[in-house]
Amino acid sequence: MNMETKHLETPLSASEVEKLHAGDNVTLTGYIYTGRDAAHKKMVDLLQKGENLPFDPKGQIIYFVGPTPAKPGQVIGSAGPTTSGRMNKYSPHMIAAGLKGMIGKGEMGPEVAEALQRHKGVYFVATGGAAALIAKRITESEVVAYEELGPEAVRRLKVVEFPMIVAQDCHGGNIYVEGVEKYKR
């Protein structure tokens, strides 16, 4: 496994996505957006009605996260990834609308893998449960939509050297399959 770290910045282009392979260690710097179950449902409803999203998804990355409330003086509370599989139904629509990547934990379904290949997208994982450590890599946070959803609101975050691993790439590579195959007995 290649433990060398690649450094990425948002927005991501199709050619940058093509250079990424399942198992790559990467860090991310720049602005990303947050969203999980409830916000995705709302956003995909908008797309299906032909309306605009609360942000332009082109080249952007969505982080599946619902942070804890920030204490006074903190940018954000603990902010680790949530289980991505719950977004299987929604992510293909977001990718088709121009989204280039998602960050979460756990394998995403075949419908997402297919969308990643068709539209040149990538799915990254961050370490689930490393939420306090990850919060240290977030330097700005503002709610951009659906404030009423509380922890599920859509936020714009600035991240610096955010640690991730490429889990499912645009070439059909999938660390969940390859990694487990390698270590099973």
Partner 1 sequence: MRNVNVELITESVKKLCMDANYYLGEDVVEAIEHAVGKEESPLGREILKQILENAEIAKSEQMPLCQDTGLAAIFVELGQEVHIEGGRFEDAIQEGVRQGYAEGYLRKSIVEDPLRRKNTGDNTPAVISTRVVSGDKVKITILPKGGGSENMSAIRMLKPSDGEEGVKSFVVETVRKAGGNPCPPIIVGVGIGGSFDKCAYLAKKALLRQVGSAHPDPYYAEMEKELLERVNNTGVGPQGLGGRITALAVHIEAHPCHIASLPAAVNTQCHSARHKEIVI
- The catalytic site residues sit at 40
- How big is the site for partner 1, counted in residues (CB under 8 A)? 48
Q: Which residues are CB-neighbours of 12 under 8 A, at least 6 positions away?
A: 59, 60, 61, 100, 101, 122
Residue (of 91, 159, 87, 176) closest to 125 by Cα position? 176
CB of 167 to partner 1, least distance (A): 7
Token code pair at residue 166? 């490429």
Kindly state whether residue 58 participates in binding partner 1, applying the rule CB under 8 A.
no
Scored b (16 or more CB within 10 A) or e, 14-27 reads: eebbeebebbbebb
Q: Give the interface segment with partner 1, choosing from 8-16, 55-63, 88-96, 147-155 (CB under 8 A).
A: 147-155
Work out the number of other CB atoms within 10 angstroms of the CB of residue 66.
21
Residue (of 27, 89, 38, 22) closest to 61 by Cα position? 27
Rg (CA), the chain: 15
Residue selected from 47, 130, 143, 146 as contacting partner 1 according to rule CB under 8 A = 130
Kindly state whether residue 184 participates in binding partner 1, applying the rule CB under 8 A.
yes
**In this complex, which beta carbon is closest to partner 1, that of residue 129 or of residue 144?**
129
Element holding 104 (H helix, E strand): strand 101-104
Kindly state whether residue 129 participates in binding partner 1, applying the rule CB under 8 A.
yes
Kindly state whether residue 157 participates in binding partner 1, applying the rule CB under 8 A.
no
CB of 106 to partner 1, least distance (A): 4
- Site map (CB under 8 A) of partner 1, residues 3-42, x = contact: x-------------------x-x------------x----
Sign of CA dihedral 134, 160, 23, 13: positive
Residue selected from 35, 54, 57, 66 as contacting partner 1 according to rule CB under 8 A = 66
The residues that touch partner 1, with contacts defined as CB under 8 A, are 1, 3, 23, 25, 38, 65-71, 77-80, 82-83, 85, 105-107, 125, 127-133, 135-136, 149-151, 163, 165, 167, 175-176, 178-185
